[in-house]
A and B are shown apart, each in its own frame.
Chain A
Amino acid sequence: MKSLKIIVLAKQVPDTRNVGKDAMKADGTVNRAALAAIFNPEDLNALEQALRMKDRFPGTRITILTMGPGRAAEVIREGLYRGADDGILLTDRAFAGADTLATSYALACAIRKIGDYDLIIAGRQAIDGDTAQVGPQIAEKLSLPQVTYVEEIISLEAKKIKAKRRLERGIETVEAPLPCVLTVNSSAPDCRPRNARAIMKYKHARTITERQDNSEDYMTLFNERPYLDIPEWSVNDIETDLSQLGLSGSPTKVKKIENIVFHAKEVRHITPDDSGINELMKELIDNHTLG
């Protein structure tokens, strides 16, 4: 097997695992805007699998594809720092409000435009929604095989990939033809850290919008080093049916959102008898902590 072309799908997500005091509103609900924006953890596991293929097959190119607002260019830079070769930011108001179906449609259209690839690797799911749907839906839209819950790519040869999947009660080794879509579990190896040379190389990588926002004059720098340009694709750059994008392309609608109210850190002493325990359990069930 010679070199490969790999697309890694990454998402910038609010760090829902780490809701600190600063992110709490006075009423005990979470202020989502106050959460740090991070590289979705399982997408980092996905990137590591891609980097291992690059280690094995020198000359392999890894492209990070992300959809989101302008600031999502951060995940592309993070990917470049860790060893990816380039990235594309898919950003447009037309994509806003998309559910998983409309998201996978937009990403599939962008992947069609990229055109030349052997492997698409994504995290199993993103921590803001936990749906695990976008990977398989992209595979369906591109008529590609999918291998989900991947823990390890075992081998890749003669246009076939062999991967280990982790299921609830066991493991499975499957073989799929390339190109295909893999989604990677958190039980896969963690992503390697940033590489100092890559940071030096890419620290000025910017999208065109970021360059406009920035007062520094990037003109000369970008003419000399074209790899610092992070391409930004809008709906006009990809071929789409507009009715399948964004809110209008989303079959699912959010009818209602209830915030889970956390209690202030004030110790409550529960008596170890039936009434004390029953009251505690009732409270935990009623506020959806249990059940």
Chain B
Amino acid sequence: MKNIFVICELEEEKIADISLELVTKGRSLANQLTCNLETLVIGHRLDNIESQLFMYGADKVWIADDPRLEIYTTIPYASIAVNLFNEEKPQIVLLGASTFGRDLGPRVSSALKSGLTADCTSLEIGDHVDKREGKNYSNLLYQIRPAFGGNIVATIINPDHRPQMATVREGVMKKEIYSDTHKGETVRLDLRKYMKESDFVVQVIERHIEKSKVNIKNASIIISGGYGVGSKENFQLLHQLAEAIGAEVGASRAAVDAGFAGHDRQIGQTGVTVRPKLYIACGISGQIQHIAGMQDSAIIISINNDPNAPINRIADYVITGDLEVIIPKMIKYYRQNTK
């Protein structure tokens, strides 16, 4: 009762990073609330999967192992989670804000009639006073998330309903080994009580992991490179920064024509129009055709050797200097000062 649960996601028979990040966060929340941290793993051939979770701080690992569960489909996974949570009555349930968590989470929360906050970027424990009802709540989960296209940051609470459910974006929390010697309990669920044959209505016919389309259109942060980046190799710097801060890499037409980046990354009149909250233009001079595709970005940073590059006129911040020097500094500061 009243424990914290993490619904884990598998990636090639291992617990996915996003889930380990949540287990790490769940551990610190459990310590704060003095409750246990439990995890639910659903899949097939899960022998010894618990060992991956104990060292990140799990006190209990619930395992649902069945050949029919090898590939995720919504309804059987949801049935298992809903039935288990109805018995165990957790106070908090966390999932990754991946396609898995964003497909499963709402189905489970709807069945439990509990609240779910999507895509949290921070989770904290705090109190709440409802002045109108004259009620005091202590130790609620503050679910903090951007909303309104990133224009506001909202703190969401679920005062009266349990579990308090949240999905969290990958990379927001830090994955950290709690203790190599931490051990817990393992429970293998008798699945006849948790799911039905009729839950298997959706069939996955084909599944292949292919290179995903570049998703610059929906990225909230874009690091974009121009001809001034100089080479395909130098473009790797942009990818490194993008990976560090959770961004997509875009390119100007000149950079694409020069072969530094693929066509699917092209931003501008002949490419994609983007409006991210942050656009970092690297070695981009600022042809009209490029500006037309990114001028509505909320914040524009221009990094360029040329102090008179036209793009500097629409930038909020201008850094005049070498990419090879500036980008590593940005990565270094970000890595040291977040999570």
Contacts and interface: CB of A to CB of B under 8 A. Distances in A.
Given A147-B202, A174-B205, A281-B330, A291 B338 contact: yes
A145 interface: yes
A254 B156 contact: yes
A140 B109 CA distance: 9
Interface in B301-328: 301, 312-322, 325-326
Contacts of A137: 106-107, 109-110
A145 B154 CA distance: 31
B96 to A, nearest CB: 10
Interface in A241-291: 244, 250-260, 262-263, 265-272, 274, 276-278, 280-282, 284-285, 288-291
Q: Give the interface size class of chain B.
A: 35 or more
Contact of B99 (A139, A148, A187): A148
Contacts of B314: 265
Interface in A129-143: 129-137, 139-141
A137 to B, nearest CB: 4
A259 B109 CA distance: 28
A175 interface: yes
B298 A128 contact: no
A16 B151 contact: yes
B152 to A, nearest CB: 5
A127 interface: yes
B107 A17 contact: no
A100 B116 contact: yes
A186 interface: yes
Contact of A99 (B115, B151, B202, B215): B115
Contacts of A139: 107
Contacts of A175: 202-203, 205
A244 B201 CA distance: 29
Given A101-B113, A169-B209, A132 B102 contact: yes
Given A136-B103, A170-B210, A252 B149 contact: no
B157 interface: yes
Nearest to B323: A272
B298 A262 contact: yes
Given A18-B275, A146-B107, 11 more contacts: A16-B148, A104-B110, A129-B118, A130-B147, A137-B107, A140-B106, A140-B111, A259-B152, A280-B319, A281-B334, A281-B337
27 contacts: A19-B149, A100-B106, A101-B116, A135-B106, A136-B74, A137-B109, A146-B103, A149-B103, A165-B99, A169-B209, A169-B212, A170-B209, A171-B207, A172-B206, A172-B207, A176-B202, A176-B203, A186-B217, A254-B156, A258-B153, A259-B152, A262-B298, A266-B316, A270-B317, A270-B318, A277-B326, A281-B334
